[in-house]
Structure 1
């Protein structure tokens, strides 16, 4: 590699940096040096050669060629004019050889220098081969013609091998030079393309860095080993919040990263970057960075990077500061809770007096009794709304053994009137003999909310299917409808207080937007998770999993043995095969 680089630098210096005059001089110098060595040997061992006129003439010709190569401004002469130097070099070698014939017989090998020059210069390649052959032939034939006595065919044929070798040498050099020139041209084109690609890449990189540094979201790109590849300016500021004041260069586990409560330190495996380099994909995963007044709440998201073969190559993690939004939501929740508490006392009083009045309908005129009954129903409705508002902030659970099939059947029975109105078919696919330890009232409330939503959001008819089964000690529920469905944007706000999908508002579907939030709160109190999968025009599937609540005797033996057993235990009795184990696991695992 080093030799190749050195050669490349030499070629660049020789062909691009140096002027044509200097290159001509450098090409002539090897022959001049060789002639100088021959002259030195002649001066030491054969001084009588200096009395030979051809020796002196040849020496003067070589000196003259060096002077001409150095003195003539070849850059200003027509293209190829400098070839006169190697052409005259054949004459200089011939004359010098004739003058040395009696002393230095190998002087004729000096012809290699002009042959190599004309053959490698890249100009007039055919002429170079011809001149090399003719020049070499004259060098060996001139002494034959100038010698005393007659010229025989044998004398002419005897030295023919030398010019033939020179022609072969010239042809080899021409082909090698042509190949190298083609490679050089190809490399120059490739070099220009690579430089253009590099410039474009650098421009895109600069644009990317500018864009990434402009957005108000922290962005980190890591490789497959978790090493930072890119961190924008916003993330550098956020990262500084997690650095302890007493540690100059903290390790990952020493960073101040906390859970959603802002107090509990997150374990290394639960931190966003660690989860991302494990190949996880997540959205809206909330953490806190820093402590005290400077702590910030962040909503994080991660997506994996894949190489051409589809292998994990890193991840992109985004950190969005949601501190102000959380503070605003907390203030709103406090306001709603305070107002709800204030409503509860007068509502209780109104309900009590109305109940007292309505206990004896004989004491009231019929129309007054009817008016008061209407008022009582609306007070009950308002009280129910207040209870819902309070339920989103404080939920307590009391676990006891319960029959899961009964919970599902009761929820379906409660939804039956509305289902009949909307022409919705209700289906139950519940594992037989399934008991669990849970808060039956609260889980019943969750099922009521989910089934009610499924029926309400199927105003044009359809099917609502409720599934329940054991998966090991986990209890898995799923409520699936074929109703309106929701867009991805609408799904992002599902668990926000008072959120209502646009389709519900347009169709005047009743509700206040608290059902899913209450359901999620109850499931979370049981230590479980609730997930939603929906597609506009296809329907919605809501699943929730409650861990470690299935009674031991309710777990099928096959389910304890492995995955195959789980599939057998998941056989539901209800109609419709679309709710089989694969579909259920897919929805519940979101």
Structure 2
């Protein structure tokens, strides 16, 4: 039989689970009432359970026997006052001696060394002793039958159903054995007691067993939940410590705001960067500028305000500070959503890129300077080549001179492209021109190159498509795009050049069935000098300037250029130009 006295220990373990949880989480500032369940009643219950849990097997047996022993002592005191003659009777004294002996046994016997369930002897004998006390006291002491509740409940709260059976048997013996031993004649009252008292005690035993079983199961469930909560809290603390370590290690400023733009979290890099007092929370707001370092950012367009409003952006350039202390930051924002999908705030990162911006500026200045220095001698070389070709007597080397001239012109074109890229602006001479004719001319001049590469070149345009553009520069854009489409279709395929009117714009697209690009390559396609890994592996010629220059030209016209591609399926570049 499973010992019922282990239950107080389990309850103590359960109730102390909250304390274990708080010690694991390490939250010493939590209110005591929150730890124990939220009230003084729970605190008292915790103390009682902790006391029972600290007792050994013998102590728990004594504490379980003590309520009956104290009640019997009170009965003796009441009998001494109201029925002293009852105390003088030998049967009554023997019954009291039995109660005393049972209490002494509960104290003296080392229950922890005996088999589990041996304690049940005490409450079973209690039932018999109560019956003798009632019989010895006479009719005035019939009420002592109520004392059977103590041993019956004690036995019934055991998880083993045998305790219920033993409790019912004990109640039955408490009515039969004393009458038989003392020779009490059977009466109508004694017969009723013999029948109904065990029934009542059986009902109490079953009820106590069911309630105790329900409480045990609930307690076990709560203990398991407590352990899961403790593990979850410990994991949360571990992750929080990991997050703190990461945030304090990275040199990127991190700022978390709620849906109202209020500060939730900032890392050390953000707090210690004086220049970030602008975009970061501060009582003073130093100037914050856009990429041109001139246009001031209005408060409603600050990164935090935009992110709090649900806007996401990536690597946007901001300048913070004033004068020589201005510093550049690449700012990225990502929104956060609650469990119900509502906007709950945003995470904003600030990466200082001042050194990178200055390095890029220095590189562009260097490229522009070198390009200018190269253009002057190249122009002179081309001029003298024309003079030589115009003079008679060089017919035997004219073919070689033409090759030199063609390559010098190609080199001059590259130099001009470098100058245009470095300045990020191109001089345009706008005039009314037929964009369809410009595209058709480029396609016609590219047929020979396409044929050499095994590429079918198709033109699909609406004519005329008049717009105010710089014909030379737009022809350069179309030339770059068609040339790329042919170059990046090394295994043949088809290139389609389309042009049509869309509202107030002329839209042109160049589609090929070549090697294509993945998502990462598409993001860098318009970056200066970028060439995909596949183009380098297959030795496709190029300097990585065609798309950046085309983008600069198109945007100079107030238009836009976009790219859509997939590896192995080809690429489509779309140019949109305003009509006027």
Q: Does the pair score TM above 0.5?
A: yes
1:381 maps to what in 2? 410
TM-score by length of 1: 0.77
From 350, 353, 356, give the equivalent of 1:325. Answer: 356
2:127 maps to what in 1? 90
Q: Does 1:480 align with 2:511?
A: yes
What's the CA shift for 1:316?
A: 5.4
From 135, 138, 160, give the equivalent of 1:101. Answer: 138
What's the CA shift for 1:481?
A: 1.6
Whether the 8 Å contact between 1:242 and 1:256 is mirrored in structure 2 is: no
1:143/1:343 CA distance change after superposition, 3 Å: closer
1:279/1:400 CA distance change after superposition, 3 Å: farther
d(CA) in 1 for partners of 2:573, 2:72: 97
1:215/1:336 CA distance change after superposition, 3 Å: same
1:410 maps to what in 2? 441
Q: CA RMSD in A?
A: 4.0
Q: How many equivalent pairs are there?
A: 541
TM-score by length of 2: 0.78
| 3-state DSSP of counterpart to 1:327 | helix
What's the CA shift for 1:395?
A: 1.7
Q: Quick check: 530-539 or 295-304, which moved more?
A: 295-304
2:378 maps to what in 1? 347
Q: Does 1:133 align with 2:168?
A: yes
Q: Does 1:118 align with 2:155?
A: yes
1:196/1:267 CA distance change after superposition, 3 Å: same
1:167 maps to what in 2? 202
Whether the 8 Å contact between 1:259 and 1:265 is mirrored in structure 2 is: yes
1:586 maps to what in 2? none
What's the CA shift for 1:328?
A: 1.8
From 29, 44, 48, give the equivalent of 2:66. Answer: 29
d(CA) in 2 for partners of 1:294, 1:71: 86
1:371/1:419 CA distance change after superposition, 3 Å: closer
Alpha-carbon deviations, 1:425-474, whole Å to 9, x = none?
Answer: 33444466644444444333323222221222123222223344555545
Alpha-carbon deviations, 1:367-388, whole Å to 9, x = none?
Answer: 3655554444343333222211
1:569 maps to what in 2? none
Q: Does 1:38 align with 2:38?
A: no
* Structure 2 portions without partners, runs of 5+: 1-36
1:242 maps to what in 2? 276
| 3-state DSSP of counterpart to 1:511 | coil
What's the CA shift for 1:188?
A: 3.8
| 3-state DSSP of counterpart to 1:459 | coil
1:274/1:531 CA distance change after superposition, 3 Å: farther
From 509, 512, 532, give the equivalent of 2:543. Answer: 512
Give matches, 1:177-188, under 5 Å: 177-188=212-223
2:297 maps to what in 1? 266
Give matches, 1:59-70, under 5 Å: 59-62=96-99, 65-66=102-103, 69=106
Give matches, 1:441-460, under 5 Å: 441-460=472-491
Alpha-carbon deviations, 1:269-291, whole Å to 9, x = none?
Answer: 65555555666665443333444
Whether the 8 Å contact between 2:278 and 2:288 is mirrored in structure 1 is: no
Give matches, 1:422-437, under 5 Å: 422-430=453-461, 434-437=465-468
Give matches, 1:173-212, under 5 Å: 173-200=208-235, 202-207=237-242, 209-211=244-246
What's the CA shift for 1:230?
A: 6.1
1:80 maps to what in 2? 117
d(CA) in 1 for partners of 2:569, 2:406: 36
Alpha-carbon deviations, 1:484-538, whole Å to 9, x = none?
Answer: 2224444444333333333333444332221111122223334444333322221
1:274/1:244 CA distance change after superposition, 3 Å: closer
What's the CA shift for 1:334?
A: 0.5
Alpha-carbon deviations, 1:339-397, whole Å to 9, x = none?
Answer: 122223333334344434444x33x3423655554444343333222211111113233
Give matches, 1:470-549, under 5 Å: 471-473=502-504, 475-546=506-577, 549=578
2:10 maps to what in 1? none
1:285/1:450 CA distance change after superposition, 3 Å: farther
d(CA) in 1 for partners of 2:269, 2:575: 36
Whether the 8 Å contact between 2:259 and 2:308 is mirrored in structure 1 is: yes
d(CA) in 2 for partners of 1:508, 1:31: 99
What's the CA shift for 1:17?
A: 3.4
1:545/1:24 CA distance change after superposition, 3 Å: farther
| 3-state DSSP of counterpart to 1:90 | helix
| 3-state DSSP of counterpart to 1:425 | strand
d(CA) in 2 for partners of 1:475, 1:222: 43
d(CA) in 2 for partners of 1:131, 1:505: 90
1:567 maps to what in 2? none
1:13 maps to what in 2? 50
1:381/1:73 CA distance change after superposition, 3 Å: same
| 3-state DSSP of counterpart to 2:446 | helix
d(CA) in 2 for partners of 1:280, 1:465: 37
d(CA) in 1 for partners of 2:299, 2:458: 44
Whether the 8 Å contact between 1:303 and 1:316 is mirrored in structure 2 is: yes
| 3-state DSSP of counterpart to 2:277 | coil
d(CA) in 1 for partners of 2:184, 2:266: 93
